[in-house]
Amino acid sequence: MSKTITATAVVAVLAIASPAASQDNTPPPILFTNANVFDGFSPDLIEGANVLVEGNAITQVSTDPIDAPNAFVVDVGGKTMTPGFIDMHQHVMLNPPEGTAAYQTRWDDAAGGAIALQYMNDHMLMKGITTVRDIAGDPLDIAKAIDMGLVRGPRVYSSGGAIGQTGGHSDWAGRNVPPATLENGQDMGQLTSNTWVTDGVDDVTRAARLNFRRGAAFLKVMGGGGVASEFDPLEILGLAEDEVARAVEIARDNGTYVAVHAYHDESYDRHLRLGTRSFEHGFLISEDMVKRMVAKYNETKDIVWSFQCYVSVNTFGSYESMPAFFTHEQKLKGVAVGEGVRAMSKWMNDYGMFIIGGSDMFSPGLVEKIKEDIVCPTSVGFSPAQALKHYTGNAGIVLKWSGPKDPYPTYHLGRIAPDSYADILIWDGNPLEDINLILDESKLQLVMKDGRAYKNTMVESDSIMYRPAVREPAVYP
């Protein structure tokens, strides 16, 4: 006989057991009933759905009754179920106050890891971001600790250290660091494996293979200048053609792909021709380049544009709104990005580009507001369903491009469907009607990752099953 209990009281039982629990402690199946489901793709909710979770996977989704006699039955009460969110452009190791320059002066990698874990729990996992694609930095040992159940945080797909040229967007050492320090990989960015300063095909080869040796799921390369770095105007190109070609070759040899940081047509053109698949930023590209990308996607289905909405539209919306650790020159670069983003994002939407969302929000003042990035596209013409799809279904498709380098290969991510990881959020309200409700943490009543509940406020606060996710904000002098 099945057991019915209040909302996710049962699910909270799963949070008691360690994710590394033995088979003897495997929790019973959970049958969610009466849920209105956003499956990660469709703009229409599946109303009155039943969802069966067995172990760490979703095994059935149906509007018909599901026969699961040994399951605990959880009546969702008509609330909205969505997949866990996936932030496809994160830098968890760069969260100390100085961002990319953090390890040059005040912090070591141990402090950086401690800050990363704090933020990954408080401002990612506990707020519904159950997976991140870390796209410059090396949190791979943190990811291993999370997977072993030693600490709490989202899943991590990592590129390992970003690969770029001397004086490019991956060169984070101070201006007066001796050249030999960079050449020998002895600056702190490279010693922590968060970035690589490369010159020539051999350097790129070595950096790429070191990343894959560490467990990287894909590669991140620098195709042009950036805002949060000191030496590189936005207009410059990054890795040379032969260097890009080698990075793409090594990624393909490993069954995975390359993502590129770039802003303008010439950079995007180089990478489109040479086989790069994930295109980050691009806020200064032309309408013609957008059309070329859409045509390539329609032909091959193997490229994606990654939209960092909040940073480009809001943070870079004015000189005054940019991070305090930026120099005057960096703030001017940010203003240029803010001026270009609205037109190019509209073209991407109008022409039907395949899009994912990634916050690029790190360091105090931004990381706390990551979910603003999910909401942001609705301010530039996207529907709530599109915005959620960028962070769920579409993101899950791209994560699987890692092929044999996929650290979580068994099931799908970003969808409420059979053969998917049981990453589930339950909302008191319908984010397809009012996406801003996802910013109200009281509306997020269940956070489940990998079949275990980390937040549960669907029961009364005096219940032993109550799992709040309230954290006092950090205060910096």
Cβ atoms of 8 and 453 closer than 8 Å: yes
* Token pair 């990343």: residue: 211
Q: Give dist(CA 136, CA 224) in Å, integer.
A: 15
Look at strands 424-427 and 80-83 and give their pairing. Answer: antiparallel
Q: Which two tokens stand for residue 202?
A: 């051999």
pLDDT of residue 286: 97
Angle (deg, nearest 10), helices 265-274 and 287-300: 20
CA distance 96 to 111: 8
In which residue are the tokens 């990478």 written? 271
**Cα–Cα distance, 2 to 468 (Å, whole number):** 27
Gap between the Cα atoms of 215 and 78, Å rounded: 41
Whole-model pTM: value is: 0.92
Residue with tokens 């032309």: 286
Q: Kindly give, in sequence order, each residue whose CB lies less than 8 Å from that of residue 290, ignoring residues fewer than 6 positions away.
A: 344, 347, 348, 351, 353
Report which residue type is found at 436.
N
Nearest residue to 448 (alpha-carbon basis) of 151, 72, 128 = 128
In order along its 477 residues, the chain shows pLDDT tens digits of: 344 444 434 444 444 333 444 455 677 899 999 999 999 999 999 999 999 999 999 999 999 999 999 998 989 999 999 999 999 999 999 998 887 878 877 888 899 899 999 999 999 999 999 999 999 999 999 999 999 999 999 999 999 999 999 999 988 888 888 888 888 888 888 888 899 999 999 999 999 999 999 999 999 999 998 887 778 888 899 999 999 999 999 999 999 999 999 999 999 999 999 999 999 999 999 999 999 999 999 999 999 999 999 999 987 767 887 777 777 887 887 788 888 899 999 999 999 999 999 999 998 889 999 999 999 999 999 999 999 999 999 999 999 999 999 999 999 999 999 999 999 999 999 999 999 999 999 999 999 999 999 998 987 788 776 788 765 555 444
Contact 358, 308 (CB under 8 A): yes
What pairs with residue 163 in β-bridges? 196, 221
